[in-house]
Structure 1
Amino acid sequence: MNEARKANQTAMVAEKKKMEAPAESRGISKQKWLEERKKKVGKILDANGLDMSKAYMLDTQDAAESKYKKWEKDPAPYGWDVFNPKTLYNAYKKRTKNIDVDLDEYNKLKEADPEFYREASSLQYGKAPKVSEDRIEKMVKELNNREEKRKSFSRRRKFHEEKDIDSINDRNEHFNKKIERAFGKYTLEIKNNLERGTALPD
């Protein structure tokens, strides 16, 4: 009798919660879904004797691969790869992404000029078509943007740990490198003597 009363009470409470639950605009809210998922994962981990830091062990191989693929980025081109046709084409695509093409104007120009696509044997070869001022302005703007990007870009230099530290800051290090390039061969013997402690006093 007592158990039936308890079961009835819990069913009534659950039904009341359902009735009072705020209506979600689009199904279940993301936060609630995440909480439920976390609880579910927590139960599975507890059953296997693991803590939440080992949640990745529940992922399937496919799920893990897709997750790692998202994290991976294409490495930046290095060395001679900078001048590969593929890299140059990607750079071209990146530059032309923001260019808007006016097909009507293009078709008008094509209709106006019978030799729009000229061959090498054409008598109009080398003759430049008239370009509107706004197109020139757009090109200048794009070139200026490229120049600004190039100026703002700074390549991170590799830090060599095995190299002796002979500078107090980056600027001084740069200056020391320049001095070394210019006078290094002349001062090598003096430096070695100072390091060994065999330099003769004046």
Structure 2
Amino acid sequence: MISRTKKVLSALALAGALAMGVAAPAYAENYPPVTPAPEANIVITGTVTPGATITVTFPAAVFANAETVTFILTGESASGASLANMVKFAVETANLGSRTAAADGSVNARVVLPSNASGTYTLTGTSASQPGGVSAAIRVSAAGGDSGGDAIAETGTDSTLLLTAWIGGGVLVLAGGSILVARTVRRNREGVHS
């Protein structure tokens, strides 16, 4: 009977490990599918220097017709940044405000950089059709260089998927450890009673 229980527990542990290791979330496609334009087509115009106003243009078909696009700026000393003609300010990573996309899905974001801007900033536009966001890197040069033309989109994996995998792995390790401890305690008790 004990041997059978061990086999069942081992099979359940193995099945749990396989289920957690193979499990992945299912993602539904947007309908109708929205295919964003190549990220290299994001254009940054203006002199990218501290305190300057620049325009970041997300091309046609990136966002849906006339939808609201929310902009978030992330970067060092970003507390003085804002969307031009907007009152909202950014702090490290902050919501700069929203703009409405044109009929073709394009949108321009005029960003006022902080007066003490330095390094690289990331401007991300998110909307209902692009919930993961479309990003452009803005490199500020103290001398007054133009960073237009080489904007890079942020890509990567969903951090919640990675967190779920780590939590699932931790649960399996704890379950395996608990089984080993219970087995050791049982063996010790059997040795004492013999």
- Tell me whether the two structures share a fold, i.e. TM-score over 0.5: no
Relative to total residues, which structure has the larger helix share, 1 or 2?
A: 1
Q: If the length of structure 1 is used for normalisation, what is the TM-score? A: 0.19
Bigger radius of gyration among the two? 1
Q: More relative contact order in 1 or in 2 (CA 8 Å, sep 6+)? A: 2
Relative to total residues, which structure has the larger strand share, 1 or 2?
A: 2
